[in-house]
Structure 1
Amino acid sequence: MHSGGVTRGLTIGEFAELTHLSVRTLRRYHESGLLEPDHVDPFSGYRYYTSTQIPTAQVIHRLRELDVPLAQVREILAAPDADERGTLVTAHLRRLEAELDRTRAAVVSLRRLLRPDAPFDVALRTEPARAVAAVAGVVAAHEVLDWYADAMAELDAAVTGHERLGPPGGHYANALFRDGTGEVLVYRPVADPPDTGRVHRLELPAAEVAAVVHHGPHDDIDVTYGRLGAWVVDHALAVDGPVQETYLVAPSDIPDPAAWRTELAWPVFRLA
């Protein structure tokens, strides 16, 4: 390891063996500026590394396995302390988790779409008029989940102590899906609905609905909506109002998504 009193260091081959990274990968890291060798022999052009660079090489490899962009890898490596490095890595991991959730949802939907003959039981019934405590607003589609969580929290606080007469629900205007913005209404059927803050008493009118229960998480709820829409068309019915959802078993009831049950319903009328 020594020649003429000068430390030679680890050759790129030796460094590759110790890090379990290929020579080609290490050359690519060098060329992209991610991991410079400790020194390069000016005569032979050979790259030499030190043992202290082993953890850095392995960190780079893990980050690249997680598809962290080169610019962000450099930013992480240049961070002044472990806390800041951890913050940068965590932010990327959250983005990856969101992408994985979208991928998983797409896979679930595709599997259902490829089983068009799966059982699908639609009920056509008349919903009676009833009084509920409700929160309503005009919401952009990408804000619906956050709006729903805030509205339902306010609603639950307002109806504390009131007798609950059924599961909560929501109405979603067709414009929300067609145009990206529309009216959203969430409600709880309770005795003597209160009026406080955004919460107000609302009379839901009687309506004939076509309804079906969606089982499990909402990753593929659009498939259930599509099948319900096809059923409505096939039975010579027309949609006559906003989409209605009733949360028979909700995340607030049971954390296991497999146990969730959501009834989807469209107010309908028969075509002449």
Structure 2
Amino acid sequence: MHSGLTIGEFAALTHLSVRTLRRYHEAGLLEPATVDTFTGYRYYSAEQIPPAQVIHRLRQLDVPLAEVKSILATDDPGRRADLITGHLRRLEEELDRTRSAVVSLRQLLRPEPADLQVELRSVPGRTVAAIGDRMALDGVVAWYDAAMAELDAAYPPAERTGPPGGRYANELFADGAGSVTVYRPVRDPRAAGRIEVVELPAVDLAITVHSGNHDGIDVSYGRLGAWVVAHALAVDGPIYETYVVGPRDTDVESQWRTEIGWPVFRLSA
């Protein structure tokens, strides 16, 4: 007679199915305490219940089997925490992408407003403090946050003369990688570290305002682009964004306002 828990009893206690327990045994993830050499029956010990429950929770979070095995194999609590934290961070990023996609789809399902507010604006040339780089599209948000923090540290509010902005090359959207520049209009632009003094050229823009956070800003881009096709002559050039009100100004997302500027050819009045 064998001591211990049968695979069925162990399955009931851990909420892991018999089929799953067999798969974990074959993968070397959770081996039975003993296996009857004659019948092949698997028996588990009570001490295996906590690690089995850990496995159950990790798998509920979609942690890959290989990572689960690494987590269980390490005796270093810090290393174990790092492995779990890394996966949780990836889950949070995936949730952010899902939320953004849901917001965009909801906006697309609404009837498009016939009265999209677009302003044709001639923006004069400006000298600004800026940080630029070339990068992949999926790295822009993190890079932007770091660059703006650097500009904010170099230029306190008393030195700023307008809201910050960004300039994004067409290739960034078309090819998934391209040049990005973020900048602040300030009284005395000066180079320091990554910060450069940049001359922004005069440009004619078709401008609309995206309200709220950037979830769904792609929909605003699309509607502005459609307006430009119908009402103006688009020209090849970077897209401009001006962060009139943003997270550096208020935590209330509904108050955020981002101007999107599409380069156009404008006839003289």
Same fold per superposition (TM over 0.5): yes
Q: Which residue of 1 aligns with 2:179?
A: 183
How far apart are the structure 2 equivalents of 1:189 and 1:122? 25
Q: Which residue of 2 aligns with 1:66?
A: 61
- The structural deviation recorded for 1:246 is 0.8
Q: Which residue of 2 aligns with 1:21?
A: 16
The CA deviation string for residues 241-261 of structure 1, in whole angstroms up to 9 with x for no partner, is 321111011122223444322
1:85 aligned to 2:76?
no
Give the letter for the 1:223 counterpart: V
- The structural deviation recorded for 1:79 is 0.7
Aligned to 1:196, which of 191, 194, 207? 191
> 1:146–1:56: structure 2 CA closer, same or farther, 3 Å change rule?
closer
Q: Residue 40 of structure 2 aligns to a residue in which SS? A: coil
- The structural deviation recorded for 1:204 is 4.3
> 1:140–1:83: structure 2 CA closer, same or farther, 3 Å change rule?
closer
Aligned to 1:112, which of 104, 107, 115? 107
Unaligned runs of 5+ in 1: none
Give the letter for the 1:221 counterpart: I
Q: What TM-score results when the alignment is normalised by the length of structure 1?
A: 0.85
Give the letter for the 1:10 counterpart: L
1:10 aligned to 2:30?
no
How far apart are the structure 1 equivalents of 2:254 and 2:189? 33
- The structural deviation recorded for 1:51 is 0.7
More displaced 10-residue stretch of structure 1: 124-133 or 31-40: 124-133
Partners of 1:134 and 1:185 within 8 A in 2: no
- The structural deviation recorded for 1:58 is 0.8
Partners of 2:25 and 2:32 within 8 A in 1: yes
Q: Which residue of 2 aligns with 1:267?
A: 263
Q: Residue 53 of structure 2 aligns to a residue in which SS? A: helix
Q: What TM-score results when the alignment is normalised by the length of structure 2?
A: 0.86
- The structural deviation recorded for 1:212 is 1.0
Partners of 2:121 and 2:207 within 8 A in 1: no
What's the Cα RMSD here? 2.5
How far apart are the structure 1 equivalents of 2:169 and 2:253? 25
Aligned to 1:217, which of 208, 213, 219? 213
Partners of 1:29 and 1:36 within 8 A in 2: yes
More displaced 10-residue stretch of structure 1: 242-251 or 81-90: 81-90
Q: Which residue of 2 aligns with 1:56?
A: 51
- State the identity %: 62
- The structural deviation recorded for 1:55 is 0.5
How far apart are the structure 2 equivalents of 1:141 and 1:74? 33
Unaligned runs of 5+ in 2: none
> 1:15–1:151: structure 2 CA closer, same or farther, 3 Å change rule?
closer
More displaced 10-residue stretch of structure 1: 107-116 or 224-233: 107-116
Give the letter for the 2:224 counterpart: L
- The structural deviation recorded for 1:49 is 1.1
- The structural deviation recorded for 1:71 is 1.5
How far apart are the structure 2 equivalents of 1:114 and 1:20? 40
